[in-house]
A = this chain, B = another copy of it.
């Protein structure tokens, strides 16, 4: 009997993680003889632990075809980090039991650095227990912080959204600055790596153009220098556009906006770098500030996805089947930039050990000398990844996104 496939989505979702699922499903349909069924974990690895396996074969094909253009994690994702398999092997044994019970021969885990740690631990556990399974990590993270791979599926679309949103809001504040708002501030995701904040930098072609200030987690936040730069920009330019990474820290290595702080009533501090910085600017410089926090909006903005990003995410899923066929295990697939004058790429792989729990932050050569900007090298890198517009189809003015039914495979084991 052909072995079945277990695929799951993990960590913060992206506008294109479902495109990876779409690539996998399409490739599988062309390789039906080599594999059994495709099961997807409901809510990531929790689906394996709870023996909640979605039978993709029972979903409506029309809806599955929409996965290519549907944001979010259509099968449910999770924020679960498995414990050390030596100290706490219960969860690992459970996953192995579920894999055995459902004849799983292939494990594809679609996630970022933390998730690839999970893939590695499961691969090692299965190996130590002599269970034959091909384990392949499929990269995904809007944070773009996985090493080895040239970039991560998900990043290009969010970078595009942030660059466009910053451009559009800049035109807005430029219109208003004469008699009203002088400063616009956008908070973007990125707790440790500044790739997303950096992406706003691609719309800037000269010193007067926005964004005038990019705040990266890689650069220590200095309030005095920041305020001087805001003031100088408003005076010389009439208005100032700031893009701030949520993860910026002060010289004491403390987050500028931390939700763990409490106010005098014992209430949790209102998080958000944007309102915090807005407050500082208003108090110290007395400018009218508008601020936005894009939060999930940036991470789910499939309506303006990068075509390159969609294609790469799809190919990651598509190629997973080829690599599984050749029993390439214990690896994460990578996007490799080719050494060509125009941007070309293909799919390769690296050992999971090389990527699990390793974060790739912005290289120094990508950060401007003033600490408030990005270099041409950085912009050239990001520009390749936001190329092309991949629009979803619409019905009555709203995108037509997939609605799955999550038919579960009959359970064979006792409750965990």
Contacts and interface: CB of A to CB of B under 8 A. Distances in A.
Interface of A: 9, 12-13, 15, 43-44, 46, 70-74, 76-80, 160, 163-165, 167-176, 178-180, 184, 186, 202-203, 264, 267-268, 270-272, 274-276, 278-279, 282-283, 290-297, 299-304, 306, 383, 386-389, 391, 394, 396-399, 401
Contacts of A184: 296
B164 A303 contact: yes
Contacts of A295: 169, 290-292
The SS class assigned to the A binding surface is mixed
Given A78-B176, A186-B297, 15 more contacts: A44-B179, A46-B178, A73-B172, A78-B178, A79-B176, A168-B300, A169-B295, A173-B296, A184-B296, A264-B264, A270-B272, A270-B276, A271-B275, A274-B293, A386-B397
Contact of A167 (B168, B174, B268, B401): B401
A413 to B, nearest CB: 20
Number of copies: 2
A270 to B, nearest CB: 4
B292 A296 contact: yes
A303 B389 CA distance: 11
A165 B301 contact: yes
A162 to B, nearest CB: 10
Most central of A12, A296, A300 by chain B CB within 10 Å: A296
A231 to B, nearest CB: 18
A334 to B, nearest CB: 22
Contacts of A278: 270-271
